[in-house]
Structure 1
Amino acid sequence: MTNGANAVINSLVESGVQVCFGNPGTSEMHFVAALDAVPQMRAVLCLFEGVVTGAADGYARVADRPAATLLHLGPGMANGLANLHNARRAHTPVVNIVGDHATHHHRYDAPLESDIATLGSWLQGWTRTATSTETVGQDVVDAVAASTDGAGQIATVILPADISWTSGGTVGTAVPPVPRVVPDGQVIAEVADVLTSGAKTVILIGADATRVDGLLAVSRIANATGATVLVETFPAALDRGAGVPGFDRLGYLAEAAQAQLEGTEHLVLIGTRSPVSFFAYPDKASDLVPEGAQVHTLVDIRDDVLGAVTALAGKVAAEHTATVQDRVEVDVPTGDLTLANWVQVVGAVLPENTIISDEANTSGLMLPAATAGAPRHRVLTLTGGAIGQGLPVAVGAAIAAPDRPVLALQSDGSALYTISALWTMARENLNVTTVLLNNSAYAILRMELQRVGAQSGGEKANSLLDLSRPDMDFVAISQGFGVPAVRVTTAEALATELTRAFAEEGPHLIEAMIPPLL
């Protein structure tokens, strides 16, 4: 008779979950032991729980199905919450298996005792504590179904150790997926009337509308109606490049977004939320919708976004085709690396079907323009703003798509949160090329210090935004984790090393020395 841990793993596999990213502890040892009995489950060790959760996020954004995480009690889950926050904002399906103390051990208030369920509820997803070995398999099946409900969410199963080690577990019964709904004809007709009214209209898109099929439908709508299309600021997955319709993203800075939306009379939301400023600033509005503009929702992110936009295109653009981006060959620039030319190098040498995990932050402001005419690629962005996502997401993406090159564009400050992801890249021999942009500063915070109206220039304030004294050697750090690395200071050298890294199997890191934005 199988134990609870074996039932959990087999239930995951039967539900289509084939990868488990983990950082286990004592309460999860029966789960670890049971992995050898289930060859269909790939187990990937990460050295920090923030890498575990970020990798599960990246995997699902590319594979379009959830991975599992294995986390150790409340502290382990707490360490992974920042990247689970990003996954929540991306509406990514993730299934957390969080080990807990044996049920009879709770009353002793052991050092690692904590309220795991409260941590799960913070993610605004689905959480259940397993109460018996006989039903734990069904708990897991229900969790997988919950994670893929709608656009995707975080589902957490709390697994007490005694339920894991006790015999009597069985695989859960499959749960039919909840169908995603296309808006009724009246909603589509009302939005169609807005788009064909002649008023200045902006369409803001997210979710599946930022994948190639959604983009093609949106482009047809724009060509038929004259509406302006913008992509949400941080899409979970955005298809771009040659053969794909290209649209600008809504600006991160409130002033830039307001300029893009100025004069809008109608704002149509397709799989995204109404835009707001990322932070509050003195004497500035939080709501970015222009005064007097009307907001219309075609489809909520949890419903059938692709079906909705396809239906709308059929109503207003039946005779229109999409406009796609032409392939634009770019010469490799020359000279010392700058904020402008390093992105041009990426645009010049990017391979077909690359997946870009973008956490370049201020160093990458010119990246979209530089890669617009590059070969087709997909960009995974920092959806929730919690830094330390880039390297873990690249890990998950590379495991989900081993036949595609993965490029992690990573700023120096953010990299340090989850730098141990490099070790997992080396251990799994993942085809991830990391360009680590080293400007020795938290440049984004230098900019925000000015934007919030705080008086800057003091020695203590500046010291908290500076990453020098001592300078960090990312080549040595990368090599220490087993990833070959080089440092470059010129555009020509970056192009040479990027081309070489893309051509070779396994992970590589290129430390690119660039000046800060401020």
Structure 2
Amino acid sequence: MNGADMLCDVLLVNGVDVCFANPGTSEMHFVAALDRKPEMRCVLGLSEGVVTGMADGYARMTDKPAATLLHLGPGLANGLANLHNARRARTPILNVVGDHASYHLQYDAPLTSDIESLARPMSHWVGRAAGPQDIRRCTEEGFAAAISRRGVSTMILPADAAWGEVSAEALSPASVPAPPALDDAALKAAVAALERGKRTVIILGGRALRDRPLATAGRIAAATGASLFSVQSDRGARGAGRAFVRPIPYNIDLAVETLKPFEVAICIGPQRPVTFFAYPGKPSTTLPPDCEVLQLAEHEHDLAASLEALADGLGVAPNAPFSSNVFRQGDIPVPDGALTSDAISLAIARYLPENAIVIDEALTSIGQYPALSPGLPPHDHLPITGGSIGIGIPLAAGAAIGAPDRKVVAMQADGSGMYTVQGLWTQARENLDVVTIIYANNAYRILQGEMTNVGVKSYGVNARKMLDLDQPQLDWCSLAKGLGVESGRATNTAEFVKLYTAALSRKGPFVIEAAVI
């Protein structure tokens, strides 16, 4: 066997049985090895941004890493934007990045680059296989780091390490470090803060927003009067029967005003919330300056166990009641008339099926969905996490592969959708059960809003050329057809409802181009 065979075997014995790939010449031995392993599902993406975005969506739904296969430094560089989102989501991914044979690097061939330096900003762990005999160690370290650090690992695979011979050996799963123990002093400080009766906010993120820890947080809030807020995270459990957690607003002024009353903040998962951007004369953090910030647990901790420890410290029983969201989907009126963002959000919410996965890259077109989601059937919400646009279409594909028995509804802004539109081709090839709703407003509307945020009240031809997507307008139905996905275009709400309900009733990918006004 060769090093590439060893790599496949180590991945499989550790439960990594999906590889999202866009390979090149230096990875052909790995491709051949994958071909000898029918247990491994290989999924092709037509750009590396699609590959890394799919790996993110898959891991968010399965809580285990997929492998990616990327071609040298330029291939990794093409995938970095969505690896940035994955890093911010604390998603476990194991990138395999091919490189030239080790003896060839000295000649500085055209595709030679500093892969380590490219990988490091978006990775929690970076390693290079020194040769075929080093592949097992390197792969196991990368896998263990992805799980224990809750993040992206990047393993560099030189071509001669892949083709070099290696002795077969018995393999067993890698040893993964246990989550760090909760700091007793931090736990006591959080318990004391909640018992003092000060106005307290508990800020949740990451795996603290899953169903079980969310219920524990709800019980703590009900017992202490604390408020629950969340930051953008990998995956959040939403819907009726679950505890209500308010997202911290994106808009800086709203965020500052919303958090203004609190004297104490307990952070579980994320650190203190910060603004996406700096603005003249405005703060970089959204909590009040005199608010006491207590970091109870970070992403590497077992966040469910951390919340349970906090509940135990407060004497809150595991079966204590909490105020759960009330089912209100039936109260949502069937919208009609002009096709606005609000009308689309009403339609999405009115017909959202139970256990759906909602992908959120609608950005400024989100409408009333955040306010409606607590009253909908239980579902999972997967948003853009790092602010690097172009995640929605591949994220939906990866989520559908990770949870094939669940309907995926992707709310997708048109400008950001064009970054990784190739992901629709993968949805067609893999016959993934995804309904993609394109908010076709023919503009980078979020950037128009940011111009206002920095004080620009009006702008001229040059700015419009950089912020508008017309002349020519994008034709999403033609794009979808060319990539193998059925589609339909809605110009009013009645047409949208008809297309949306039909897409929900069938299996496979479908694109709705919503000509939103």
3-state SS in 1 of match to 2:354: coil
- The answer to whether residue 313 in structure 2 is matched with residue 327 in structure 1 is no
Query: Which residue of the partner structure matches residue 507 of structure 1?
Result: 509
Query: Which residue of the partner structure matches residue 312 of structure 1?
Result: 310
- Which has the larger displacement, 437-446 or 162-171? 162-171
Aligned residue type for 1:378: D
Q: CA deviation at 1:486?
A: 0.2
Query: Which residue of the partner structure matches residue 440 of structure 1?
Result: 442
Sort the Cα spacing of 1:11 and 1:216 in 2 relative to 1 into closer, same or farther, 3 A.
same
Aligned residue type for 1:81: L
Query: Which residue of the partner structure matches residue 24 of structure 1?
Result: 23
Aligned residue type for 1:349: Y
Query: Which residue of the partner structure matches residue 190 of structure 1?
Result: 189
Q: CA deviation at 1:363?
A: 0.2
Q: CA deviation at 1:124?
A: 4.2
1:408-487 to 2 correspondences below 5 Å: 408-454=410-456, 456-487=458-489
- The answer to whether residue 394 in structure 2 is matched with residue 362 in structure 1 is no
Q: Is the 8 A contact 1:387 1:414 kept in 2?
A: yes
Sort the Cα spacing of 1:126 and 1:170 in 2 relative to 1 into closer, same or farther, 3 A.
farther
3-state SS in 1 of match to 2:246: coil
Query: Which residue of the partner structure matches residue 44 of structure 2?
Result: 45
Query: Which residue of the partner structure matches residue 237 of structure 2?
Result: 239
1:394 to 385, 393, 396: 396
- Which has the larger displacement, 406-415 or 318-327? 318-327
CA distance in 2, matches of 1:484, 1:124: 36
Cα RMSD between the aligned structures?
A: 1.3
CA distance in 1, matches of 2:375, 2:402: 25
- Which has the larger displacement, 283-292 or 163-172? 163-172
Sort the Cα spacing of 1:317 and 1:373 in 2 relative to 1 into closer, same or farther, 3 A.
farther
Query: Which residue of the partner structure matches residue 351 of structure 2?
Result: 349
CA distance in 2, matches of 1:317, 1:503: 47
- Number of positions where the alignment pairs a residue of Structure 1 with one of Structure 2: 512
Q: CA deviation at 1:497?
A: 1.4
Residue by residue, what CA displacement relative to the aligned partner does 1:402-450 show, whole Å, maximum 9, x if unpaired?
0000111100000000000000000000001100110000000001011
| TM-score (norm: length of structure 1) | 0.97
Q: CA deviation at 1:198?
A: 1.6
CA distance in 2, matches of 1:300, 1:142: 21
3-state SS in 2 of match to 1:456: coil
Residue by residue, what CA displacement relative to the aligned partner does 1:341-362 show, whole Å, maximum 9, x if unpaired?
1101011000111011110000
CA distance in 2, matches of 1:237, 1:379: 6
Q: CA deviation at 1:304?
A: 1.6
Percent identity of paired positions between Structure 1 and Structure 2: 43
In structure 2, runs of 5+ residues without a counterpart are none
CA distance in 2, matches of 1:315, 1:500: 50
Sort the Cα spacing of 1:472 and 1:176 in 2 relative to 1 into closer, same or farther, 3 A.
same
Q: Is the 8 A contact 1:182 1:307 kept in 2?
A: no
Q: CA deviation at 1:318?
A: 2.0
Residue by residue, what CA displacement relative to the aligned partner does 1:48-75 show, whole Å, maximum 9, x if unpaired?
0000000000000000100000000000
3-state SS in 2 of match to 1:168: coil
Aligned residue type for 2:102: T
3-state SS in 1 of match to 2:451: helix
Residue by residue, what CA displacement relative to the aligned partner does 1:78-133 show, whole Å, maximum 9, x if unpaired?
00000000000000000000010111211211110101011121224111111111
Aligned residue type for 1:239: A
Q: CA deviation at 1:193?
A: 1.2
3-state SS in 2 of match to 1:464: helix
Sort the Cα spacing of 1:164 and 1:464 in 2 relative to 1 into closer, same or farther, 3 A.
same
In structure 1, runs of 5+ residues without a counterpart are none
CA distance in 2, matches of 1:455, 1:492: 35
